[in-house]
């Protein structure tokens, strides 16, 4: 028996406005929520009990998954009335665990898409008799990340904040958002107050002499925290670049729900995912994008590397490039949204030839 905790209580501010109507881990990537992909992978690695650490929009998880009947695992919920941070959430979840004090417990950040070998991480923790094993990945540009240098025996030497000078880039290894904890350590995290696992718990464990190891795995890894990463992650799943047992029905270039209608001369490709009851009209192009349920794309419109929220209509000839359009919008014809432009839900815009960009003109 192996237990896992999924941290899914964050507000997902970087993905607004999409996260106004659904928590980030429940937004569809390649047709199903990131949480479903993660639980499917955890189950394949032998996990049979998952505790979701919820806070923001917790009901969405409960109504989607119940007790886990459709997922093949037992699902329990640990709710935080006020968010307790990544470490406080672990302490809050701990009382729902069934593992013994020395058993391994897996922890996943709820917004990470990865093909790493979960069983190898647990085996490494066990073989090294570690207190905590962190899944680390290597990135070309580590500047936006906290760094985790290790020694030749994989022992973590430090948890370093984002580097601000070239000298501070002492390694390309970063915390990839999945850990194995000895269960008793989760019980020792302070209760009832916000705690950051990255900034407080891990450095504290190092200081107290705990045996913390890094497990480097360089398979597919992506943090879905930003709109561009979100569409890329979805497209990678659709194209099979990111592995997940939960992707069903992709033709390798697109995943189109059976109830969607796509005109014969429209193009849906580059890993696009098209939700329930969507309509893509004649001559439109949907490339590397995510259309949530009930979206209508007008004739000749071009949607590239963008996300379109539920029940939104995009007018004929409108161009979206790296844009995020919220739910229930009515966007007129011949508009242009580029470079990170975001449109809030329920927005109505008339037909016009105007360019909206998040970049200064
Ligand atoms: P941003 O607001 O865009 O940074 O997103 P976020 O709120 O999801 O924060 P972040 O990406 O740093 O969180 C990493 C993971 O931890 C995500 O899966 C979050 O859902 C989760 N998380 C963050 N804070 C909390 C919290 O206070 N409680 C719980 N239960 N989970 C949290």
- The CA distance from 81 to 60, in Å, is 15
CA distances from 295 to 262, 278, 302, 304, 337 (A): 11, 5, 14, 15, 17
**pLDDT band for position 353 (cuts 50, 70, 90):** low
Q: What is the pLDDT of residues 28-49, one digit of tens each?
A: 999 899 999 899 999 999 999 9
Pairing of strands 112-114, 221-223: antiparallel
pLDDT of residue 188: 95
Rounded to the nearest 5 percent, the helix, strand and coil shares of the chain are 25, 30, 45
Q: What is the pLDDT of residues 129-185, one digit of tens each?
A: 999 999 999 999 999 888 999 999 999 999 998 888 888 899 999 999 999 999 999
Q: Helix or strand or coil: residue 197?
A: helix
Point out the ligand 1 atom lying closest to the alpha carbon of residue 83.
27
Q: Measure 111 CA to ligand 1 centroid, in angstroms.
A: 8
The dihedral region occupied by 320, where left means phi > 0, alpha psi between -120 and 50, and beta the remainder, is beta
At 172, list the tokens. 């390309």
- The sign of the CA dihedral 265, 271, 277, 278 is negative
Residue 360 pLDDT exceeds 70:
no
- The CA distance from 223 to 34, in Å, is 11
Q: Measure 6 CA to ligand 1 centroid, in angstroms.
A: 11
List strand residue ranges (DSSP E) for 126-280, in order: 132-138, 173-182, 212-216, 221-223, 254-256, 261-262, 267-269, 272-274, 279-280
Residue 245 pLDDT exceeds 90:
no
Q: Measure 9 CA to ligand 1 centroid, in angstroms.
A: 6
Ligand 1 site: residues with CB under 6 angstroms?
7-15, 24-25, 53-55, 80, 83-86, 89, 109-111, 225
Point out the ligand 1 atom lying closest to the alpha carbon of residue 23.
20
Residue 361 pLDDT exceeds 70:
no
> Ligand 1: which of 4, 54, 86, 192 to mutate, most ligand atoms within 8 Å of CB?
86
Listed by start position, the domains of the chain span 2-223, 249-357
Q: What is the pLDDT of residues 305-350, one digit of tens each?
A: 999 999 999 999 999 999 999 999 999 999 999 988 999 999 999 8
Lowest mean pLDDT among 93-97, 200-204, 243-247: 243-247
Mean pLDDT of the chain: 93
Q: Measure 266 CA to ligand 1 centroid, in angstroms.
A: 38
Mean pLDDT score, 195-202: 94
Q: Are 126 and 206 in contact (CB under 8 A)?
A: no
Between 206 and 162, name the one with better pLDDT.
206
Q: Are 324 and 343 in contact (CB under 8 A)?
A: yes
- The CA distance from 195 to 89, in Å, is 8
Q: Are 272 and 280 in contact (CB under 8 A)?
A: no
Q: For residue 181, list its beta bridge partners.
A: 105, 132
Q: Measure 110 CA to ligand 1 centroid, in angstroms.
A: 8
Residue 269 pLDDT exceeds 60:
yes
pLDDT of residue 146: 87
CATH of region 2-223: 3.90.550.10
CATH of region 249-357: 2.160.10.10
- The CA distance from 18 to 335, in Å, is 20
Residue nearest to atom 11 of ligand 1 (CA): 225
DSSP H or E segment with residue 19? helix 18-21
Q: What is the DSSP letter of 70?
A: G
Point out the ligand 1 atom lying closest to the alpha carbon of residue 85.
27
pLDDT of residue 359: 65
């Amino acid at each position: 028996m192996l237990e896992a905790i999924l941290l899914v209580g964050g507000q997902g501010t970087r993905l607004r406005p999409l996260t106004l109507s659904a928590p980030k881990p429940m937004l569809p990537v390649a047709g199903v929520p990131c949480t479903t992909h993660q639980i499917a992978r955890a189950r394949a690695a032998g996990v049979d009990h998952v505790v979701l650490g919820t806070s923001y929009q917790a009901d969405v998880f409960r109504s989607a998954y119940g007790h886990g009947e459709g997922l093949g695992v037992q699902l329990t919920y640990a709710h935080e009335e006020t968010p307790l941070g990544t470490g406080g959430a672990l302490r809050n979840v701990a009382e729902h665990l069934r593992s013994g004090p020395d058993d391994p417990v897996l922890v996943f950040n709820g917004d990470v898409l990865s093909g790493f070998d979960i069983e190898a991480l647990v085996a490494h923790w066990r073989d090294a008799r570690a207190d905590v094993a962190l899944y680390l990945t290597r990135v070309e540009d580590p500047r936006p990340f906290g760094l985790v240098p290790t020694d030749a025996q994989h022992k973590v030497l430090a948890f370093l904040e984002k580097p601000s000078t070239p000298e501070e880039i002492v390694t390309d290894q970063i915390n990839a958002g999945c850990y194995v904890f000895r269960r008793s350590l989760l019980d020792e995290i302070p209760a009832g107050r916000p705690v950051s696992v990255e900034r407080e718990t891990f450095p504290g464990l190092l200081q107290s002499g705990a045996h913390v190891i890094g497990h480097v795995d360089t398979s597919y890894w992506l943090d879905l925290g930003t709109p561009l990463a979100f569409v890329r992650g979805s497209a990678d799943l659709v194209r099979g670049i990111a592995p997940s047992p939960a992707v069903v029905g992709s033709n390798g270039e697109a995943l189109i729900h059976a109830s969607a209608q796509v005109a014969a001369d429209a193009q849906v490709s580059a890993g696009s995912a098209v939700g329930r009851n969507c309509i893509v009209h004649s001559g439109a192009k949907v490339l590397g994008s995510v259309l949530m349920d009930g979206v209508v794309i007008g004739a000749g419109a071009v949607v590239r590397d963008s996300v379109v929220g539920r029940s939104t209509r995009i007018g004929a000839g409108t161009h979206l490039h790296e844009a995020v359009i919220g739910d229930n919008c009515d966007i007129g014809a011949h508009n242009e949204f580029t470079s990170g432009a975001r449109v809030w839900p329920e927005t109505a815009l008339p037909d016009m030839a105007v360019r909206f960009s998040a970049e200064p003109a």
